[in-house]
Amino acid sequence: MAKRSRLLFPSKRRRAGPASVAALMSVMARSTTQAITAASKITKAATKTTTCPARKTAAKPAPRARGGAGRFTAGTHAGASGSRTYKLFMPSAAGEEGAALPLLVMLHGCGQTPDDFAKGTRMNLLAEELGVIVLYPAQPRSAHPNRCWNWFRASDQGRDSGEMEVLAGMVRAIQARHPVDPRRIYVAGLSAGASCAMLLAHAYPEIFAAVGCHSGLPINAARDKGSAVLAMKQGWPGTRLVDAIPTIVFHGEEDKVVTPRNGRLVALRALETYRPLATVEKRGAVADGRTYIRTQHRIGRGRPYVEHWLIKGSGHAWSGGSRTGRFVDPSGPDASREMLRFFLKHRNKRRLS
């Protein structure tokens, strides 16, 4: 059984006990209120004291990623709305002359760091195999006590403001500095990171060719701490989307932190932006692992534009991956490989800015 973890909000305990769902959500609501209140005070203090002009710092080299020939480096990006550190994986293919590679932005969940997220998802190993650059932005405790991306806060949900502005600026800076194919930039995340990934992709549709949402919520499912808890517990459809962006969704059927209804709602909102698509459902199983239902929506027998995976028996954790990271379910299908398979079928045809 996958570890149950509160990746959208902080918690004093790492694992859910045998308490009932109602008791679980009560504890989550109390911890959520305390954490978001603390985060609000921290953010206000930071806003008052930050007067330095924005600057960008070049990445500094770090040890090579284990199991591959690529390099895993650390850096910092500063923008008008603040700064964030990051880790960047460069596959060995980046050294080939004239190579323009895809870029994947990976947004971690609460209680995680870029290093932990990279270990758990095994994304760097797959990126070396497929020739993909991977960017892992880091959320500091100064922005949220439990390192959560502030998906539920109105000031961090729109274009050119808050965390959206910082993350988009970071992607542009990496794109300008490295051999990135501008038509193959993708974003994915887990839990709070997944909700943030959805916001980022639709705030900047000219940047992102596709988005992946693992255990997250629809765009604008919440606007404050109270509505966030309600949306996590019951599910909320959020707002209608304007841009058609290919979307892949993973969600554990036994997720007690973010109801699986939210995963279905993310897929339904994405479908609304397309003309009627053919639906193909497949039931499968991982050898000695979990069963799943994969629902693809595509034109005829072509590539899928919306894809939804429901993992039977899985909780609030990344499907597949390695036990060396936190908040993973190794018994499930490999979400990392399936997301890359989905992403690499799509290119951004919008006018690039």
Contact 249, 307 (CB under 8 A): yes
Tokens read off for 252: 């554990």
Question: Residue 253 pLDDT more than 80?
Answer: yes
Segment among 57-71, 127-141, 153-167 with least mean pLDDT: 57-71
With residue 36 as reference, give the H or E element that holds it: helix 21-49
> For residue 65, how many C-alpha atoms fall within 13 Å in the half-sphere facing its CB?
29
Tokens read off for 191: 């839990």
| CA 23/CA 29 separation, integer angstroms | 10
The single residue listed with the structure tokens 């149950």 is: 4
Strand 210-214 relative to strand 133-137: parallel, antiparallel, unpaired?
A: unpaired
Q: Which of 117, 157, 155 is nearest to 139 (CA)?
A: 117
- pLDDT, tens digit, 9 for 90 and up, residues 191-221: 999 999 999 999 999 999 999 999 999 999 9
The confidence score (pLDDT) of residue 327 equals 94
- pLDDT, tens digit, 9 for 90 and up, residues 74-103: 999 998 999 999 999 999 998 777 789 999
The confidence score (pLDDT) of residue 301 equals 87
Q: Which of 174, 159, 152 is nearest to 58 (CA)?
A: 174
- pLDDT, tens digit, 9 for 90 and up, residues 19-33: 443 333 343 344 444
Radius of gyration over alpha carbons of the chain, in Å?
19
The confidence score (pLDDT) of residue 10 equals 39
| CA 121/CA 319 separation, integer angstroms | 8
| CA 119/CA 321 separation, integer angstroms | 8
Does the pTM surpass 0.75? The reply is: yes
**CB-based burial, 262-280: b 16+ in 10 Å, e otherwise:** bbbbbbebbbebeeebeee
Question: Residue 54 pLDDT more than 50?
Answer: no
With residue 266 as reference, give the H or E element that holds it: helix 261-271
- Amino acid (one-letter) located at 189: G
Question: Residue 57 pLDDT more than 60?
Answer: no
Question: Residue 64 pLDDT more than 50?
Answer: no
